[in-house]
Amino acid sequence: MFPLKLVVKNAFRRKVRTFLTILSIAIALLAFGLLQTLVNSWYAGANSASSYRLVTRNAISLAFSLPISYKDKISQIDGVQEVTYGDWFGGIYIEEKNFFPNFAVEPRGYLKLYDYLIPPEQSASFLRDRRAALAGCKLRDRFGWKVGDSITLKGTIFPGTWEFMLAGFYQAGVNDIDETQFFFHWDYLNETIRETMPHRADQVDFYLIGVKSPDLATKVSLAVDKTFKNSLAETLTETEKSFQLSFLAMSDAIIKAVQLVSLVVIFIIMAVAANTMIMSVRERTAEYAVFKTLGFGPWPIMVLILGESLIIAMTGCALGIALTIPVKNAIARALSDYLPIFILNTKIFLYYAIASVLVGITAAIIPAWRAAKVPIAEELGRIP
């Protein structure tokens, strides 16, 4: 269609300028998409939290522990289906740069509460041996571990050298599960520290509670905390999601700043695109005067400019989409140790399209208005 051809030809009349504008739109969208993916990955733990699970910790702070004796009392509360517990171990594998989260957990209850995919023989091996450990499959890929390997962690919170037999690997049953964690038996930890640091024995950092129905979560939370009211270690029970979000709240300002930057990026590309359109229209003012002489009214002229602006913005959008997937994959590979879950939400491409349409329209408003108002006689008088 000829008018469309005119719009496309106008858009690419200054090839270098148009290419640079398209590139800047694509890169800005890419930055927006990656920053949004970063924010999403930050919240991935909270998103994967089940409404069937509650976390109970010391009411003062997570730095304080709870007695192991609470388990039986919690198990007797109405609505509770499963109770397990654990400690943040914080061990180092060979050297600090090899960081991965590691926990001492009560394994039977833990595996019942989480949807991990584990080969049955590996799961059985993990449960059978007190020195057994279970690792996420990303750790296997990262360190080249095999089932049966002996893994040594250097204790930081619990001093000493800790040896484990790698019983198996788990995979995520759902997308947002972190596959870089390492679990071993809490009993193994407790037996050892009972000998070396008896005052720290029989204590856990947290209880994980599986409720029979999500509707019972509030009732069970209140009942647990009521049970231990006025005890030496009062509890704070909340849903797993609230627990995760309370962690994230510590870095809330950073996340907000990242989100703000991703929006600022969009405003910057609006300015870049608007600048291109203003320059293009200014160069062609005389042509618009000719169009008006031929009888084109303000609207067709505005549509021509709007179309040109949208073509530039949408080409930038297409390039942005094309760049996002490989760049995201490269970043995910490079940062897999620090951001185990870096999954692109395909909805981001819808945001790209919306942002590009907004950029296209916004950038065209002022130049289109100016072109529509070109005084014909004055502009023709300037030619050439």
- Site residues for another protein per CB under 8 A: 2-3, 5-6, 9-10, 13, 286-287, 290-298, 300, 376-377, 380-381, 383-384
| Cβ distance to another protein smaller for residue 35 or 286 | 286
Q: What is the closest distance, in whole angstroms, from the C-beta atom of residue 299 to another protein in the complex? A: 9
| Contact of 155 with 318, CB cutoff 8 Å | no
Instruction: Report helix, strand and coil shares of the chain as percent, to nearest 5.
Output: 60, 15, 25
- What is the secondary structure of 314-356 as a DSSP string? HHHHHHHHHHHHHHHHHHHHHTTTT-S-----THHHHHHHHHH
Q: What is the closest distance, in whole angstroms, from the C-beta atom of residue 17 to another protein in the complex? A: 15
| Cβ distance to another protein smaller for residue 148 or 300 | 300
| Cβ distance to another protein smaller for residue 232 or 294 | 294
Task: Report the candidate in 113, 105, 126, 93 with the shortest Cα–Cα distance to residue 190.
Answer: 105
Query: The tokens of 318 are what?
Result: 């297409």
Q: What is the closest distance, in whole angstroms, from the C-beta atom of residue 308 to another protein in the complex? A: 11
Q: Token match 């129905």: residue?
A: 213
Task: Please tell me the distance from the alpha carbon of residue 209 to that of residue 222, in angstroms, as a whole number.
Answer: 13
| Cβ distance to another protein smaller for residue 5 or 97 | 5
Q: What is the closest distance, in whole angstroms, from the C-beta atom of residue 384 to another protein in the complex? A: 5
Q: What is the closest distance, in whole angstroms, from the C-beta atom of residue 309 to another protein in the complex? A: 16
Task: Report the candidate in 344, 303, 302 with the shortest Cα–Cα distance to residue 321.
Answer: 344
| Cβ distance to another protein smaller for residue 248 or 290 | 290
Task: Please tell me the distance from the alpha carbon of residue 106 to that of residue 130, in angstroms, as a whole number.
Answer: 10
